[in-house]
Structures are given as structure tokens and as C-alpha cells.
Structure 1
Amino acid sequence: MELRWLTSFVAVAEDLHFGHAADRLYLAPSALSAQIKALETELGVRLIDRGRRSRIRLTGAGELFLTEARLTLAQVAKAEAVGRRAGRGELGEAEIAYVASAAFSGVLTRVLADCGRHERDVTVRVRELETPAQLEALGSGRIDVGFLRWRPEYPPDLTAVCLLTEEMVLALPEEHRLSALEAVPAAELAEERFVVPHFDEEHDFRDQLGQVADAGGFPPRLAPPVKDFVAALTLVGGGLGVALVPDSVRRVRMPGVVHRPLADVSLTTRLVGVHRRDETSPAVRRVIRRLRAVASDGG
């Protein structure tokens, strides 16, 4: 069954006149009649009674079929419009993944809010995912944009933009002897066990712990690794160690935890947005533009 047969049938059904319908469709009456006959043959039923002396009329089957034909043509028109809008990037989907600390920083919500205001026809889905899993998912196409902590290098098909640079602070148990200080010297941490998220143990936070240990003149002692900073704060609140955390993690009101700056070591961490270098989806490219706009505004 061809769509042009449905278009021709609806025109004849509305005009109840082959000549008028043919003129509307810019067809010869014979060609229009041939299409109606082909449709009836395909369905195995007569749709139109062609009276020689009386005006043509729809059969009972024709009346029922007319309703469905109109619905089908309307759906086709809608599908065409959706396809064109999707091709222009006006419609589509984008999958975003983030590390937990990205949510605390406010940058993720800023990007999502911009998408909500300016890209309403793009469906954005978000989920929490650790850094290595994000990089793998970006490469395989399972996610489109990742919010993660800085790494010294990325796969060649990915590119990163810095969204936020923030200070690192020390998370301490509330009753810890060092919580009374306004700022904590590195040397005071010689006997402490440090809780470090395992997802980034080769980059950034492990390196920064090394800088603190060097400044304090001690070898770092590590607590068992944890999944993320929320888990790290949980151990700190339980008195099982201390942790270096991004300043934005202060927003997590974990019972039994206080935060203090380091007195003699200045450490920063960067939150980055990562996406495929040669992204082809128009909808995803629109989300990336919002990401880069937030980056240019300094988060």
C-alpha cells in the first residue's frame, strides 16, 4: 500500500468528485481513478460506489477506512516534521553522566537549567557514574557528555573543557584535635589515615595527597579506598580517617564532619566537561554549546 493511494482516496472522499479531486492533486482523472482501484485491489474491498447517473459515494467500508486513512496521513506528516526538526537539532536526546562531586559544585545544575530554558525539545537524561566508566561510556556512545574531575590525558576522540577550579580542603571528624584550628599545617597530619576515592587513585587526589605528605615530611597512610566523596565523608564522620576534598563538598552536611583549609599547602582541583571531539548528533551539540557557555562564564 502506497501513501499516495491514501492521499488520493481522502481527496476523492472529501470532494466526492474524481475531477475536482484530480485538480486538487494535480493528477489526470484517469491516474487518480487508477490509484483508487489499486487501493481497493490491495484491500480486497470496494471503497467507493461509482454511480453512472448519481454522485459517487463511499461504501460502508470506505467510511470506516476514511477515518483510519486520515489518521495515518496525519501521523506521517507528524513524523516528517519530527524528522526535519531532529535534523536541525531541535529535537533529540542527550545522556549526561556525572561524578557525585559535580552535583555538589552547582555546575551540573547550571548546565541542566540552561538546557531547560533554551533546549526544551531536547530530552536530557542524567546518571551518576565513576570517572573511568564515564570515559569508557563516552567512547562506546552510551553517554554523550561527562562531568568528571580533571585527568592529565584523555582518549584521542574525546575533548575536555574546564568548568570549575576550586580549592581542596581537609575534612576532619568533628571531635578531632585539629578541628579547633582555623587552618591545619601539613606536619600535623603525619599520624592520620587518609581516605581517598579509589576511582582516581592514579591521578589528581592521590598526587595531591603526596604533595601534602611531602610538605609535612611524612609518608602518607591510607584508609581502605571508597567509591566517592560521600563515602569518604561517611568514614571521616565515623572517626576512621581524614580526607582531602573539593571545597564544594562542604555543601554535603555530613553529621560529625568539619572542614578546614590547609595552612601551608595550596591545592586546587578542576571539574571538567568531556564530550566526543567529532559529535554528529545535532541535539547533543546543542547541549555541548550550553556546557561551553557555562565554562566561558566561569561556572
Structure 2
Amino acid sequence: MAVVVGSYSFLFVSTFVAALTYITYQLLSSYLHKWFAMKPVPGPEGTYLFLGDALMFKPKAGEFFRQIVEFTQEFRDLPLFKIWVGPVPFVALFHAETVEKILSNPVHLDKSFAYKFLHPWLGTGLLTSTGQKWRQRRKILTPTFHFSILTDFLLVMNEQAEILVEKLEKKAGKGSFNCFSDVTLCALDIICETAMGKKIHAQSDSESEYVKSVYRMSDIVSLRQRRPWFWPDFIYYYFGQGKEHDSTLKVLHSFTQKVIQERSESMSYGETGSDTNQGQKKRQAFLDMLLKTTDEDGNRLSHQDIQEEVDTFMFEGHDTTAAAMN
């Protein structure tokens, strides 16, 4: 009996080792193939196997962005350059003619590996989805951005812009200052009211838990993206920011879940739109339209589907707009 058990144990261990060896070989072969295939593409010096250029990346998001801008200056006479983030190569395109090749091609819809770290926060909404799901969501969401609907949001934009101007006037004439935070809070107020029909008063209360959590989550995700040693979950939760990531995520999701639930209940009682001045029609927020939207089969979107898109537009809608305005 002992001999039979020993034989099974030996067979199991042998099979496990063989499978592990095969997987390792395949991964290593794939990595080395990429390494040599990418070798002709210019990039910064000091790239290490497996770690890539990660050791030279600045820890803060703003500093890292400026670092990438410096690389575009260094390689400005070339069509592109590469950086390795751990075992994953990224090609940076910064000339209009090279960017056009990608943006004008409907084939390139798959998102890069780095988007994986946004999934806990944004799910697989319009920003992070791909393939058939992306096409379906795009088709569903496009009508919600009709010009007639966007016109209704102009009042919100003007109200928040006036608050921004008042804040900037207090700083004007007293020397140079960084307006990035002021503009970003304004964009956050606008997207929150237009997307969810909810005022969060970010410009007057930048210390609110939700506002701080939006900023913190952005920093946490972007830092993990450029530190490949924290990509494995078990390492991230034992030695990285895994616990802070989850606690911050809980604040963000609890807020949007509560708003979705409240709006859904209001609509069931026949109430729609955001509160406006008396005598004016009620504006419909992005969330209101999602709650009414049906897919190709005539089915309503689930609350999970809606949350994916609301969280996506809350993040994507204020972050990119704020960067452009700044």
C-alpha cells in the first residue's frame, strides 16, 4: 500500500514539475522573442531583463508624466520610442502621423495589460472593455451624448465655472500659482452633477471623503501599473498598497451604488432629472438615461452594468478634461 501511495505521489510531483517547467519555458520564450523583436526600436538606456525600465520611473504620477515628456524631447526626431514596464514593452507615439495610424484603424480595440489594474474600480465599461462588449456599449451610449442633451448640461458647467472664477480671482495678482487643483475640482463637480445628478461640492469641500478617494485611487492604480513587482496580487496585498486600495475602492463604489439606488427608486415613483430652479424643466443626468436604456434585446442594463459606466465617466470624464483645460 505504501509503495502504491508513494508511486502516486511521485507521479503527481513529476507531472506538476513538468507542467511548471513547460509553462516557464513558454513564458520565457515569449518574453525573449519580444525582447529581440523590440531591440531595433529606440528607448532609454539602462533597461534590465524582466524589470525593464521600471527602476528609473519616478514614483509620483506628475513626475512620471514629465519624465515621459522628456523622453519625447530626447527622441523627437524619431517616429516613436519604447519603454519596458517589467516584461511588457510599451511603444510611445507622439507624432500626429504615427498616432493617426492607430486611431483610424478599427482593428486595434484590445486594451493593454496595464488596463487590468483599473478593472476592480471601473469594471469592464467603455474605457476598459474590448471586442463585442465594447461595440455594444458604444452603440448604447452614443445617443446619450446628443448635442441637445449636452446643451442641457451647459447651465451646470456655467454654475461651476463661476465658482472657479471666483476662486481664481482671489489668487490673481499675487504672483504665480498652480491652478491644476482648482480646475480639476471644477471638472469633478461638473461631471458628478451631469453624470449622476448629484452635487458633491468638490470646489468648496475638497476634503470630502469621496473627492479624496477619487484622487487617491488614481494615484494607487497608476503607481501599481509602473511597478511590476507589485503586479502579482499576493505580493501587492502583503507588501504593497493592497489594503488601502480595497478600502478606497469601498468608498468609491459605496457612493455610486447609493446614488444609483436612489435614482432608480426615484424613477420608479415617476421622478426624473436633477433639481433646477423653480419653473425650469428638470435635467436628465447621464445616470437617468442609463436607467432607461435597453440593449439590442430590449433588456434594461443591470445596476452592475450601469455602475461600470458611471464609475468610468466619473473618472475618465473629469481627469482627461481637467488635464486638457489646464
TM-score after normalising by structure 2 = 0.22
Q: Which has the larger radius of gyration?
A: 1
Which structure is higher in RCO with an 8 Å CA cutoff and minimum separation 6? 1
More helix by share: 2
More strand by share: 1
TM-score after normalising by structure 1 = 0.24
